[in-house]
Structure 1
Amino acid sequence: MLMDETKQKIGIIGGGQLGKMMILEAKKMGFYIIILDPTAYCPAHSIADEHLIADFDDEEAIRELAKKSDIITYEFEHIGVEVLQDLESEGYDIYPAPKALANIQNKYQQKELLKKYNLPVPDYIKAITKEDIKIAGEKFGYPVMLKSCTGGYDGKGNFLIRSESEIKAGYQALGDGDNLLMVEEFIPFDKEISVLACRNVSGEVVTYPIGENKHQASILIETKVPADISSQVKEEALKLGQEVIELFSGVGIFCIEMFVTEDGRVLINEIAPRPHNSGHYSIEGCVTSQFANHIRAITGLPLGSTDLVRPSVMRNILGEDGSKGEAKVMGMKEALEFSNVKVHNYGKKLTKPTRKMGHLTATADTVDKASQAVLEASKLVKIGCEF
C-alpha cells in the first residue's frame, strides 16, 4: 500500500513572513504545519495548523515541536543550534542540518570554512580588542567593516569604520568587548548580487536566476532579475552558489550573497541557510518559488523548475519613519491599479521604522518596465501608525 506523502508534519521554528510564505506553498501540497514562535499573532499564526507559543531558546518547546513533527525546518538562523544537534543525534530530521547552521551562524567560522575550500571571500581577521581593529585598519586600509560574528541582520551588527578615530565608537556600538567580532576589508563593489540554490534530500540541486540587489542603510530595498551582469560573472556566481550548497551538504534553500567588483571578481559576502528576502521575486517571477522548492526539498519531493517566467523586480515595504505601534495600511487599492504589480502584506500587527512589513513585485517584458511599475506602486503603499 502506498503511503500518503503529504501525511508528513512539518515543524517550522519561526512564524514570521518567511514561515508564512513557506506555509502557503506547503498547504498547496497538503502538508500539516506546526510553528513555534513567541508572538501570539505572528504573520504565520492564522494559517498554521498548530502554533506553539514559546521563545526561540526554549529547549523544552523545541523538543515538543520535534515530537509533533516528522521534519523540522526554520525561517531564520539565530536560534539555539545545540538543541537541534541533540535532536538530530536522536534521529529527528532537521533541514538544513544543524552542522551547517552552526558553521553559518558564526560569520568568522563561515568565512574560515569558505577560505579553507578556496572559495573567494573578502580578507578578514578576528578582533578581540580595539588594538586588533587598529591592526586590521593598517593591514587592509580604511574604511574597514567591523562585524559581530553572531546575531547580526539587516545591517545590525555591522559598523563601517572610516578611520582610526572611529575604532572606539565602532567597538562600543558592537558590544564594547561583550561580543565576538571580526574585521573585513571593505570591498568597493560594483554590484551586490545573490544566488539562490536549493538541494533536496536526494542531492538534486537547482539554482535560481541571479538577483541584483540594492540596499539602503544596509537593508535590502530592491531586487532586480535578471541581474545586469556579464555572462562570465553569471557563470562564476552560479558555480559558487552550487559549490556552497554542496560544501554545507545543504537541504532546502540557501541564499549566497555576493559582491561583484569593477574588475569582474565575484566574492562571497554572507550565506543564509533559508529562503531569503532577495528571493521573494520568485513567487511571481519563476515557475517554482523559493518557498515551494524549500518544502519540496525537505520532504523528499523532486525540485521544480526555477526558470524565470518574466523579468521581475521586488521592492520591500518598510515601516514608515516615526511610526511605532499598531500597523495600518494605506494605498493598496491605488498600488493595485498597476495590473502587473502584486502586493504582499505580511500582516504584522506592530510597525516600527524600517521594519519589513511587506513587499511588492512587478513582472514585465523588461526589467526596466518592471522596475518603473514597482517603484511607482511603492510610492502609494504605506504601512505605519497614522496617516
Structure 2
Amino acid sequence: CGVLTVEIEHVDAATLEKLEQQGVDCQPKASTIRIIQDKYLQKVHFSRHAIPMPKFMQIDDLEGAKRAGDLFGYPLMVKSKRLAYDGRGNAVAKNEDEIPMAVNALGGYSRGLYAEKWAPFVKELSVIVARGRDNSMLCYPVVETIHRENICHIVKSPANVSWKVLKLATDVAYKAVSSLEGAGIFAVELFLTADGQVLLNEVAPRPHNSGHHTIESCFTSQFEQHLRAVVGLPLGDPSIKSPAIMYNILGEDGNVFELSFGEPGFLLANQLISRALRIPGASVHWYDKPEMRKQRKMGHITLVGPSMGIIEARLKSMLREETEDDQPPAAPRVGIIMGSDSDLPVMKDAAKILREFNVPAEVRIVSAHRTPEMMFSYASSARERGIQVIIAGAGGAAHLPGMVAALTPLPVIGVPVRASTLDGLDSLLSIVQGKAECYKGTELCKKA
C-alpha cells in the first residue's frame, strides 16, 4: 500500500513496527501509536517535554494508591493505562475509603493503573492539530467541549475564552504534537483552570469527535486534512467559515439491542433527527451502527449560523428546551472588536449605547498580531454574517482598524484607545491615514 494510517490508536503497535521495518509507510509512526495508546506512557512522554499537566504516578497496589492520595489529595482520579476512551477507564475516589471501589471499577491493579491529581477545571478545551510529512503544522481554532458522564456531549467552536487562553491552549497543543513522530491529525484535549492555567489532558493521533464540526464550519475538514497530511499534500486552510455547535447523538437506552423501529432508543434519536432537519444550518450525520448502547455515539448533528447566540437558540429549539418567553436573539448588525481585553473599558460604552437603541451587536477580541487568522476570518465573513458596520478599537495593536478595513467592504469605525505609551497618538495616526472607505475616529477617545 502507499500509506497505512489508523482509525483509532488501540491497535497492535508491535505489528506496525514490523510493517515499518518491512518498508511500509505508517503515518503517524508506530512509535507515536505505542506512546499514545498507553495513557501512562503518554504522561511520562509529555512530562519529559515539559508539557503542563496534572501530577500523576503509577499505582500497583493499595499502598501505592493511598500514597497517591496523600500526595495529590482528594478527590483522586484513578485511570486505566490502556483502552481508555469515551468515558471508559476513569474512576474517582472521593476519599481513601473509596479507593478499592474505584480500582475494582477499572478491573483491578493487574490491568495497569495510575493515579492523577484532580484538575479543578472550569472548562474543557480541545485543539485539532494537523502535521504534514514535512513537519509543517497548522492548528484549528480552539473549541470548548462539554461532557456528560465523561463522554463528549457538545462542542462549541470557537471557544468563548480570552485571547490569552486561546494562545496558551494553542501553544500547549503545538508543543505536544511537536514532540511526536509522524503525520496526520492530532486532537489535544485540555483543561482550563480557574486561575487561567491550561493543562494537557490527553492526545489522540487521529480525527476526533471534537473536530467533527469542521466538516461544515471550516474551510478544510479534519478528515480531508488527515488525508492531505499522511500522503504529503499541502495542508489546507483550517480557518473557521462559521461558528458552530456539534451535538453528539448518544444511545439513550440502557440495554443492548438491535436497531429497529419501535425500540425506545432509536425512536428518541429519530425524533431528534426529525427536529434537526427542520432547523436552518443543521447537518445530520448518522453512523448506522448495528446496535445501540447507553452513551454510545450513534451520530452527531452540527449547527452553523451567523453568530453563536443564534446557534445556541437553534440548539435549544432542536432539543425542545425553549420556553414561551424565549426569543431567538436577533442577528448582530454591528461588530465591536478590539485587540485585547484591556481595551474593553473603552469599547464597552459602544455596546452599551447600541443596546439602549436596541441595535444588536457582538463583541469580540480579535488581535491583528496575536491571532491574525482569526482577524482575517472575522473581517472577511462579517458582511455574509449580516454585520453592517464594524467598530474597531486601536490600542496596543494600532493597526487593527486599517487591517480590518482592508479585508471587508463594510464601513469600519476606528477608535483610538489611550495606551501606556504615546498616549494613543500612534493609533490615531494609523486610523486617519487608512483607506478612504474607512470611517475614522478623529480624536483621542476616552469613550467608544
TM-score by length of 2: 0.68
Q: Distance in 1 between matches of 2:252 and 2:298?
A: 10
Instruction: Write the mapping of 1:72-91 to structure 2, written as runs, cut at 5 A.
Output: 72-91=4-23
Which of 33, 45, 70 is 1:101 aligned to? 33
Contact kept, 8 Å, 1:254 with 1:272, in 2: the verdict is: yes
Q: Which amino acid aligns with 1:372?
A: A
Q: Deviations over 1:230-283 (max 9, x none)?
A: 111111111111111111023100001000101100100001000100100100
After superposition, the C-alpha distances for 1:100-136 in whole angstroms (9 at most, x for unaligned) are: 1111111111111111111101001100001111111
Q: Which residue of 1 aligns with 2:217?
A: 285
CA deviation after TM superposition for structure 1 residue 76, in Å: 0.8
Structure 1 residue 167: deviation in Å? 0.8
Instruction: Provide the residue aligned with 1:338 in structure 2.
Output: 279
Matches of 1:147 and 1:76, distance apart in 2: 19
Listed one character per residue, the Cα deviations across residues 176-214 of structure 1 (whole Å, up to 9, x for unaligned) are 222111000001101100011001112221110111010
| 2:146 equivalent to 1:217 | no
State the Cα deviation string for residues 365-385 of structure 1 (Å, max 9, x = none).
2222212323432459xxxxx
Cα distance in 2 between the residues matched to 1:281 and 1:177: 38
Letter in 2 for 1:127: I
| Letter in structure 2 aligned against 1:134 | K
Aligned to 1:180: 112
Q: Which residue of 2 aligns with 1:55?
A: none
**Which structure features the higher share of strand residues?**
1
Indicate if the aligned counterparts of 2:59 and 2:109 stay in contact, CA closer than 8 A: no
User: CA separation in 2, counterparts of 1:163 and 1:109?
Assistant: 26
| Cα distance in 2, alignment partners of residues 342 and 377 from structure 1 | 12
Residue 323 of structure 1 deviates from its aligned partner by 4.8
**C-alpha distance after superposition, 1:274-297 (max 9, x if no partner):** 010010010001000000000010
Q: What CA distance in whole angstroms lies between the structure 2 residues aligned with 1:107 and 1:368?
A: 37
Q: 1:325, 1:351 within 8 Å by CA — same for their partners in 2?
A: yes
Question: Per-residue deviation at 1:352?
Answer: 1.3
Q: Where do 1:346-361 residues align within 5 Å?
A: 346-361=287-302
Does structure 1 retain, via aligned residues, the 8 Å contact 2:123–2:144?
yes
Q: Which has the higher contact order (CA 8 A, sep 6+)?
A: 1
* Equivalent in the alignment of 1:373: 314
The equivalent of 1:159 in structure 2 is 91
8 Å CA contact 1:317–1:378 kept in 2: the answer is: no
Structure 1 Cα separation of the partners of residues 274 and 56 of structure 2: 48
Structure 1: gaps spanning 5 or more residues: 1-68, 381-387
Distance in 2 (alpha carbons) for counterparts of 1:189 and 1:253: 25
Q: Which residue type is aligned with residue 239 of structure 2?
A: D
1:149 paired with 2:81, answer yes
Quick check: 1:190 aligned with 2:122?
yes
For residues 12 and 50 of structure 2, what CA distance do their matches in structure 1 show?
29
| TM superposition score normalised by structure 1 | 0.78
- Deviant stretches of 4+, over 6 Å: none
Tell me which amino acid in the other structure corresponds to 1:101: I
Q: Distance in 2 between matches of 1:164 and 1:207?
A: 41
For 1:361, what is the secondary structure of its paired residue?
Answer: strand
Partner amino acid, structure 1, of 2:153: I
State how far apart, in whole Å, the 1-side matches of 2:313 and 2:211 are.
19
Give the conservation status (yes or no) of the 8 Å contact 2:127–2:187.
yes
CA distance in 2, matches of 1:225, 1:278: 9
1:42 is aligned to none
SS of the aligned residue for 2:4 comes to: strand
The 1:171/1:322 distance shift into structure 2, 3 A limit, reads closer
| 1:27 matched residue in structure 2 | none
- Following TM superposition, by how much is the alpha carbon of 1:350 offset from its aligned partner in structure 2, in angstroms? 1.1
Of residues 303, 316, 326, the one that matches 2:258 is 326
| Alpha-carbon distance in 1 for matches of 2:248, 2:37 | 25
Which of 1 and 2 has greater Rg?
A: 2
Separation in 1, partners of 2:275, 2:188: 35
Alpha-carbon RMSD: 1.3
Instruction: Find the aligned partners of 1:289 and 1:375 in 2 and give their Cα distance.
Output: 26
